[in-house]
Amino acid sequence: MSDPDVLSLFCRCLHHAADRLQPGDPAEPPIVASSVYFLPGEPTAVHQYGRWTNPTWSALEEALSVLEDAETIVFPSGMAAITAIFYTQLKTGDRVLLPSDGYYTTRALAEKHLAPFGVSVVTRVTTDYDATDFSDLRLVWVESPSNPGLDLCDIRNVAMKAKQAGALVVADNTTLTPLGQRPLDLGADVVVCSDTKVLNGHSDVLSAHVASRNVGVIARIRDWRTHTGAIPGPFEAWLVHRGLESLEVRFDRMCRNAETIARRLMEHPKVQDVRFPGLASGAAQAIAAKQMLRFGTMIGVMFASKEQAERFIDECKFIRPTTSFGGVHSSAERRARWGDNVPDGYVRLSVGCEPAEVLWSDMKRVLDSL
Ligand SMILES: *Cc1c(COP(=O)(O)O)cnc(C)c1O
């Protein structure tokens, strides 16, 4: 799918409610805070009980379904969504492949909570995925770019080979959102996105969605949510719907900012190395050009030492020292502080919506002083 097609999907997503609004209806979705619905006699109403459905989630799901071009289910966090996928698609004796350099908690969930049920967890670094033999795997988990290292694999190639081998292919698309990369169009069966990050973008709610064009898979995931009660609150769903409406303008600004800042960081003598898909070389450059509509909002910055990295984070006035990423405020952290397999001086920088030149002069002032 080309960039203009995705932008027209986004416009349809923005205006998705127009088809069903009646004169006098609220134009934006109301926050419906009711656990029960008026339900006399035979239970035939659309909404019956608050764990099953809620009109505020439905509004968000409708909008996201337009943007994903696939049926979508919302969850109260990325990990709740990932849990739903694991537990509905895997059973005793199955093997699952996870990226060893991907989001840590996905691996921790599998290793601590699935392995005791007899699911084997196999790991590979993202850059080895293209050359992996996928036979005997039930589920192949793809995270490209990987978080925090920002390495890539060829999603179309991996999805084709893994599906030929009989596996279900799931892509975690958190870092890029459906505006930056479209795993379902590249052949993945399921896409999951932690909307806590860029999609909501205001660092004020945890949320996530799962989308798939496979009706069987999506029905089981919906069932899981109903039965486990891992449901979003109506206020949280409303916040994400509100965040989604400005996603395109925020993401565009943040990706442009990241491109400008990545290039300048690379030229600065105090920076040893920069990892950014838009500045990749060799095989990664070809993969990025083929499958990414945007290069994203995150930059890996390598400093000579832990001390220099910490000074950069602390002394930049327009960088918030927080974990997570994708908010309108630029933020950064040293990932080694969590035990990620990256050098001590590696900073994951999440570029926000600040005016680029102001942001850069703040960073340059600190870099020059290191
Ligand atoms: C943050 C994140 C998650 C988990 O999302 P939560 O909303 O924090 O539960 C999963 N995958 C990736 C790539 C993430 O960055």
337 Cα–ligand 1 center, Å: 18
Q: What is the CATH number of the domain that holds 275?
A: 3.90.1150.10
- Residue 103 shares a structural domain with residue 43: yes
CB–CB of 352/322 below 8 Å?
A: no
- Residue 164 shares a structural domain with residue 99: yes
Q: Give residue 211's pLDDT.
A: 98
Q: In what order do the strands lie in the sheet with 95-99?
A: 71-75, 208-212, 190-194, 168-172, 139-142, 95-99, 120-124
Domain end position, chosen among 193, 218, 244: 244
Q: How confident is the model at residue 1 (pLDDT cuts 50, 70, 90)?
A: low
Number of domains making up the chain: 2
Task: Find out whether the beta carbon of 192 lies less than 6 Å from any atom of ligand 1.
Answer: no
77 Cα–ligand 1 center, Å: 8
Task: Find out whether the beta carbon of 196 lies less than 6 Å from any atom of ligand 1.
Answer: yes
- Residue 218 shares a structural domain with residue 264: no
150 Cα–ligand 1 center, Å: 15
- Residue 174 shares a structural domain with residue 255: no
Query: Residue with the nearest Cα to atom 3 of ligand 1?
Result: 78
Q: Is the pLDDT of residue 20 over 90?
A: no
- Residue 334 shares a structural domain with residue 282: yes
Give the number of the atom of ligand 1 that is nearest the alpha carbon of residue 80. Answer: 9
- Residue 32 shares a structural domain with residue 173: yes
Q: Give residue 177's pLDDT.
A: 98
Domain span at 283 = 247-369
In tens, the pLDDT along 188-246 reads 999 999 999 999 999 999 999 999 999 999 999 999 999 999 999 999 999 999 999 99
In tens, the pLDDT along 34-65 reads 999 999 999 999 999 999 999 999 999 999 99
Q: What is the pTM of this model?
A: 0.97
Q: How confident is the model at residue 340 (pLDDT cuts 50, 70, 90)?
A: confident
Domain end position, chosen among 195, 211, 244: 244
As annotated, the active-site residues are: 51, 103, 172, 197
CB–CB of 123/99 below 8 Å?
A: yes
Q: What is the CATH number of the domain that holds 166?
A: 3.40.640.10
- Residue 209 shares a structural domain with residue 279: no
191 Cα–ligand 1 center, Å: 13
- Residue 290 shares a structural domain with residue 212: no
Task: Find out whether the beta carbon of 172 lies less than 6 Å from any atom of ligand 1.
Answer: yes
Q: How many Å is the Cα radius of gyration of the chain?
A: 21
Q: Give residue 334's pLDDT.
A: 95
Report how far residue 48's alpha carbon sits from residue 179's, in angstroms, rounded to the nearest whole number. Answer: 34
Task: Find out whether the beta carbon of 248 lies less than 6 Å from any atom of ligand 1.
Answer: no
In tens, the pLDDT along 265-307 reads 999 999 999 999 999 888 899 999 999 999 999 999 999 999 9
List residues bridging with 169 in a β-sheet: 140
Q: How confident is the model at residue 127 (pLDDT cuts 50, 70, 90)?
A: very high
Task: Find out whether the beta carbon of 360 lies less than 6 Å from any atom of ligand 1.
Answer: no
- Residue 222 shares a structural domain with residue 293: no
Task: Find out whether the beta carbon of 98 lies less than 6 Å from any atom of ligand 1.
Answer: no
With CA atoms as reference, report the closest residue to 366 among 287, 270, 274: 270
List the structure tokens of 55.
Answer: 């009109």
- Residue 213 shares a structural domain with residue 253: no
- Residue 198 shares a structural domain with residue 289: no
Pick the residue with more confidence: 76 or 341? 76
With CA atoms as reference, report the closest residue to 313 among 295, 340, 289, 331: 331
Query: Residue with the nearest Cα to atom 7 of ligand 1?
Result: 78
174 Cα–ligand 1 center, Å: 7
Domain end position, chosen among 217, 244, 271: 244
Give the number of the atom of ligand 1 that is nearest the alpha carbon of residue 102. Answer: 13
Give the number of the atom of ligand 1 that is nearest the alpha carbon of residue 208. Answer: 7
Q: What is the mean pLDDT of the chain?
A: 96
With tokens 């033999």, the residue in question is: 133
- Residue 27 shares a structural domain with residue 118: yes
Query: Residue with the nearest Cα to atom 10 of ligand 1?
Result: 78
Task: Find out whether the beta carbon of 83 lies less than 6 Å from any atom of ligand 1.
Answer: no
